Amino acid sequence: MRETLTIYHNPACTKSRETLALIRSRGHEPRVIEYLKTPPSETELTAIVRKLGIKPLELVRRNEQVFKDKYAGKTLADKEWIKALVANPILIQRPIVVRGEEAAIGRPPEDVERLLR
């Protein structure tokens, strides 16, 4: 049995919609989490970052106003970035697709292809 695909989705985001459509076009029906309505917990986000193989700072959307207002120019520890992302989910890069112990950011959507096999 294949592991469930989960997409952390923002329906207002073009890349997120394109990634969801790509997943469905490959015959998958993922679990869809609208992360702005249901943000991941610190534990969940820590696991996602580990699966992505990146530092929490690499998951931050730096063009968002909340980043510019609260975090620009600051140096935070990994755990502090996780807390910031959970408190301000608009800062989380999107979409994120998770399958088992692997994850990918759908920017571009084709980056999630390896999870669809």
Domain spans of the chain? 5-116
Two tokens, residue 3: 């592991």
**Catalytic pick among 6, 13, 44, 83:** 13
- Structure tokens that stand for 18 in this block: 């394109």
**For 54-76, what is each residue's pLDDT tens digit?**
999 999 999 999 999 999 999 99
Q: Determine the 3-state secondary structure of 88 from DSSP.
A: coil
- Would you tell me how many other CB atoms lie within 10 Å of the CB of residue 60? 19
Residue 114 catalytic? no
How far is residue 97's CA from residue 68's CA, in Å, rounded to a whole number? 26
Q: For the whole model, what pTM was predicted?
A: 0.95
Tell me, what amino acid is at 63? N
Model pLDDT for residues 4-33, shown as the tens digit of each residue:
999 999 999 999 999 999 999 999 999 999
Q: Which CATH class is domain 5-116?
A: alpha beta
pLDDT the model gives residue 117:
82
Averaged pLDDT score across all residues of the chain: 96
Whether the predicted pLDDT of 77 surpasses 90: yes
